[in-house]
Chains A and B, each alone.
Chain A
Amino acid sequence: MGIPVKLQVFEGPLDLLLHLIDKNKIDIYDIPIVEITNQYMEYIHAMDREDLNVMSEFLLMAATLLDIKCRMLLPREVNEEGEEEDPRRELVEQLLQYKMYKYMSYELRDRQIDGQRMMYKASTIPKEVQEYVEPVDLDMLLTDLSLGKLNRIFRDVMKRQTDKIDPIRSKYGKIEKEEVTLPEKLLYVEEYAKVHRNFSFRDLLERQSSKFQVIVTFLAILELMKVGKIQIYQEHTFDDILITAIEDSEEKHGN
């Protein structure tokens, strides 16, 4: 007897087994293996051989059923407690577990109707509120840094800049003055901060090739502090000043 059912009806071998068990009104704990295996085999023969992936799972179960069938015919194996093992036990447990989750999935399905009938409001915080950044507290930024200290470092660097100049070569013809604008430097320092995260104020200034460059860099640092992109601090008095890039604290806004 062929079973005129489409394969799509069953989600897998367990599903098919449960269907057969229900159809034959069989006690799940007492599966007549021979009967069920025969029906299962019939079903597999009727199956579309298109999808090998699905097929293989059904065949695996068929092999399991046959294996159980054989063991049912042989004298029972005895476990440590001296009890006879039922070859069907493992399958029964698997079936029961599957049955339970299947049942729960119906529970869930009935519940989702409610959840679908609620409306939610998308977050509509005005742009200016979302983009509001707390004003930077300069006192906090500068912590224990005084203008005097900054000034000293600045002069220090400037002096070294003049020391760098080669007295002989500097007498040669004038070299074109390079133009550097504050916006350019801002980008430069920002990039530098992104790459280095923590860096020394002095190092950055010493990288500059001219007095003019140093001044613009210095301005850029002050500007970035003001907009809260970097923070500067000093561990001990007379130490070098350290600069830290402040992470963009972009709040996650769910859409």
Chain B
Amino acid sequence: MEIKRLESIIEAILFTMGDSVEIEKIASVIEHDVATTRKLIHNMMDKYEEEDRGVRIIELENSYQMCTKTELYEYLIRVAKQPKKYVLTDVMLETLAIIAYKQPVTRLEIEKIRGVKSDHAVNKLIEYDLVCEVGRLDAPGRPILFGTTEEFLRRFSVHSLDDLPGIDEERIEMFKEEAEDEAQLKLDI
């Protein structure tokens, strides 16, 4: 089958499903291997971008989903009602950052870093579908391990966990300098 045809099939699948679709599923439908399918989709993503289309395809770990361009939001809310999105407090963001960067992580580890009980924040994050249970730690009491969800990727426009914003160069330099100073601790009480 020619590329054009394959692309139109993929486009139709993503449109129909609305939700994110796993790449393996798409590959099996168009009867090509995953690598080829991925190439096809990324090629489509570029095309959508070049032609400045209203929709785009986003990547979420191992799935793809269709959504609108962010800059069209102003126009879209005139026709489409968007349910009010929850607001994340600083406490929740702090907790979420720890879970995102340290996952899988237990409640206890989160609390150790924050120095405060974090039950409420974790529960809220679960309620907002940004965090979920990803397993149990093989330790006494088998504590729950938390990780982030696909909704988290969508909400923060992250393609995959490897794509999470790192600490910028400036920061790293600063931390480094601080660490160097540490070697020569001055102790004046």
Which residue from A34, A115, A121 sits with its C-beta under 8 Å from B154?
A115
Would A100 and B167 count as touching, CB distance under 8 A? yes
Contact residues in B for A86 (Cβ distance below 8 Å): 185, 187
In the complex, the answer to whether A104 meets B187 with C-beta atoms within 8 Å is no
- A105 to B167, Cβ gap below 8 A? no
CB <8 Å contact, B18 and A123:
yes
Is residue B39 contacting chain A, with contact meaning CB distance below 8 A?
A: no
Closest Cβ of chain A to B159, distance in Å, is 12
Known: A72-B187, A108-B93. A117 touches B115 (CB 8 A): no
Complex contact B88–A109 (CB within 8 A): yes
Q: A118-B157, A120-B18 are in contact. Are A109 and B67 (CB under 8 A)?
A: no
The chain A residue with its CB closest to the CB of B99 is A101
Which of B15, B82, B85, B156 lies at the interface centre, i.e. has the most chain A CB atoms within 10 A of its CB?
A: B156
Query: Given the known A-B contacts A98-B115, A101-B113, A117-B73, are A30 and B97 also in contact in the complex, defined by CB atoms under 8 Å?
Result: no
Whether the Cβ atoms of A53 and B70 lie closer than 8 Å is no
Question: Are the CB atoms of A105 and B97 closer together than 8 Å?
Answer: yes
A61 to B116, CA, bound (A): 10
Chain A residue numbers with a CB within 8 Å of B97 are: 101-102, 104-105, 107-108
Complex CA distance for A184 and B34, rounded to whole angstroms: 49
23 intermolecular pairs with C-beta atoms under 8 Å apart: A11-B116, A12-B115, A15-B115, A29-B178, A34-B189, A72-B187, A96-B175, A98-B114, A100-B167, A101-B97, A101-B98, A108-B100, A111-B156, A111-B157, A115-B155, A118-B67, A118-B70, A119-B67, A119-B82, A120-B67, A120-B68, A121-B18, A122-B18
- Supplied contacts A13-B115, A32-B189, A108-B156, 9 more A-B pairs, CB within 8 Å: A13-B116, A29-B185, A30-B186, A98-B114, A100-B167, A103-B171, A104-B167, A105-B94, A115-B155
Interface residues of B (CB under 8 A from A): 15-19, 58, 65-71, 73, 76, 80, 82, 85, 88, 90-91, 93-94, 96-98, 100-101, 113-117, 154-158, 165, 167, 171, 175, 178, 181-182, 185-189
